[in-house]
């Protein structure tokens, strides 16, 4: 019998009534003949509450106990979902991560899944169980301790189960009805996509689109897991939501699939750095050690053997970056005249697999921004993405202009 994986996020199971509604969706899939693995998040707001309790109790907490506490939210949801399905006469059982077991690394609060043996759950399916309700976001370390996978980890749990059990599909139920060409809150012309390629979704997720966690998309792409993003709050049809799939499964697509943005960006520039072999390593090594997530990098070389090095990072990591650079300077590892941080920028990107085979996308993008009087501070490109840093006050205007320029309100 085929296996379907269904994942319900926090808002989808945010109350007893919503758990009942989600259980009806599970029931419908069971009626179609599937055995179902349901992955659940904690009820909306519960994980934040648990994290707050940990911090209040022990500001310098033991990460192992942090995981023991914050993983409990998913356990509650899994038990309640299983109980509701049993009330509907559907053979269901809840599973915590250690019971499966979901084997992970020992990196508490940011563990990675290493293996999901299928024997236990498959044996229960053979005995007549129709639904396994699994607590997402959690696993067990080689030392036998509970681990958690980091924020958004239930998405990763769902995709990992779909891969491990060779599921026909992994349905992600959330509070949006699919993946859009851009944020509908910024652009009222945003259009829901019927299909999007793994690579496009991965870029959009990494650029700030919060529909799917980046690690879950990486996993789906690696194991060719078909993902479908749907709303928990709307009536569904067989073609509802957005299917995230292989590029080959998309017959025709626009050159650009979507416009993404990130408003919490900062531009940092090291002014007048000695231009010598190894200088980049001397700069970005200490930044990496300090946990600074560097994104865009631009180097400008002058004639006097000096260079300016510009990079972007999240605004909440600026102080960490400044500290790392000043310490490296004090140790004599690097020498620079000044370090300038600009926290008033935003990153806007266009993404599309069609860019591989179409020239002129960059020119169109830059002309559209020029026509709106928007100055570009930094540019980076990849095979299917072009990103720019601009003044944050122009971010929404830029998103709308680019959405219009590439005709994203119209299907290909």
Supply the CATH number for residue 136's domain: 3.40.1160.10
**Pairing verdict, β 3-8 and 169-174:** parallel
Residues 152 and 25 in one domain: yes
Tokens of 129: 């169980």
Q: State pLDDT tens for residues 6-61.
A: 999 999 999 999 999 999 999 999 999 999 999 999 999 999 999 999 999 998 89
Q: What is the edge-to-edge ordering of all strands in the sheet holding 338-351?
A: 297-301, 306-314, 258-274, 338-351, 385-391, 378-382
Residues 167 and 283 in one domain: no
Tell me if 378 is assigned to some domain: yes
Residues 266 and 376 in one domain: yes
Quote the pLDDT of residue 139: 97
Q: What is the number of structural domains in the chain?
A: 2
Task: State the DSSP code for 293.
Answer: -
Residue where a domain terminates, one of 142, 175, 208: 175
Tell me if 220 is assigned to some domain: no
Tell me if 62 is assigned to some domain: yes
Tell me if 311 is assigned to some domain: yes
Percentage of the chain lying above the pLDDT 70 cut:
97
Tell me if 249 is assigned to some domain: no
> What is the DSSP track for 11-42?
GGGSSHHHHHHHHHHHHHHHHTT-EEEEEEPP
Residues 282 and 158 in one domain: no
Binding-site residues for ATP, please?
7-10, 174-175, 180, 185, 210-211
Tokens of 116: 């999901």
Instruction: Note down the domain range covering 302.
Output: 259-405
Binding-site residues, please?
7-10, 47, 74, 174-175, 180, 185, 210-211
Residues 170 and 263 in one domain: no
Residues 267 and 147 in one domain: no
Tell me if 222 is assigned to some domain: no
Residues 288 and 170 in one domain: no
Residues 171 and 263 in one domain: no
Tell me if 242 is assigned to some domain: no
Binding-site residues for substrate, please?
47, 74
Quote the pLDDT of residue 311: 95
Select from 124, 20, 125, 130 the least CA-distant residue to 81.
Answer: 20
Is pLDDT above 90 for 342? Answer: yes
Supply the CATH number for residue 290's domain: 3.30.2130.10
Residue where a domain terminates, one of 140, 175, 210: 175
- Number of Cβ within 10 Å of residue 367's Cβ equals 12
Confidence tier at 120 by pLDDT (50, 70, 90):
very high
Q: Tell me which of 75-84, 186-195, 361-370 is least confident.
A: 186-195
Residue where a domain terminates, one of 147, 175, 203: 175
Residues 156 and 304 in one domain: no
Tell me if 232 is assigned to some domain: no
Residues 288 and 169 in one domain: no
């Amino acid at each position: 019998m085929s296996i379907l994986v269904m994942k319900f996020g926090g808002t989808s199971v945010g109350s007893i009534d919503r758990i009942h509604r989600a259980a009806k969706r599970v029931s419908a899939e069971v009626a179609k003949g599937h055995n179902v693995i349901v992955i659940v998040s904690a009820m909306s707001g519960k994980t934040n509450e648990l994290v707050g309790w940990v911090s209040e109790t022990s500001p310098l907490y033991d990460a192992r106990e942090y995981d023991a506490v914050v993983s409990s939210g998913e356990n509650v949801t899994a038990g309640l979902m299983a109980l509701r399905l049993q009330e509907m006469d559907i053979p269901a059982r809840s599973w915590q991560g250690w019971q499966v077991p979901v084997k992970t690394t020992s990196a508490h609060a940011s563990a990675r899944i290493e293996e999901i043996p299928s024997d236990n759950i498959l044996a229960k399916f053979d005995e007549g169980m129709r639904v396994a309700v699994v607590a997402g976001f959690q696993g067990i370390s080689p030392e036998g301790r509970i681990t958690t996978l980091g924020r958004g980890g239930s998405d990763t749990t769902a995709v990992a189960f779909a891969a491990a059990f060779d599921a026909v599909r992994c349905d992600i139920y959330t509070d949006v009805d699919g993946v859009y060409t851009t944020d509908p809150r910024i652009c009222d012309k945003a259009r829901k996509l019927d299909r999007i390629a793994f690579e496009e979704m991965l870029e959009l997720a990494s650029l700030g689109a919060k529909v799917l966690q980046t690690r879950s998309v990486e996993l789906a792409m690696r194991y060719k897991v078909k993902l479908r993003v749907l709303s928990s709050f709307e009536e569904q049809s067989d073609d509802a939501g957005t299917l995230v799939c292989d590029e080959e499964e998309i017959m025709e697509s626009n050159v650009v699939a979507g416009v993404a943005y990130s408003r919490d960006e900062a531009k940092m520039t090291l002014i007048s750095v000695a231009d010598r072999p190894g200088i980049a390593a001397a700069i970005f090594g200490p930044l990496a050690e300090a946990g600074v997530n560097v994104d865009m990098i631009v180097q400008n070389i002058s004639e006097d053997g000096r260079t300016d090095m510009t990079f972007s990072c999240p605004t909440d990591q600026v102080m960490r970056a400044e500290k790392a650079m000043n310490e490296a300077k004090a140790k004599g590892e690097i020498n620079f005249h000044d370090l300038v941080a600009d926290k008033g920028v935003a990153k806007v990107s266009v993404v599309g697999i069609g860019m591989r085979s179409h020239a002129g996308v960059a020119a169109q993008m830059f002309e559209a921004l020029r026509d709106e009087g928007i100055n570009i501070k930094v540019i980076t490109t990849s095979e299917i993405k072009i990103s720019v840093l601009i003044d944050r006050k122009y971010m929404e205007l830029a998103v709308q202009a680019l959405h219009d320029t590439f005709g994203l309100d119209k299907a290909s």
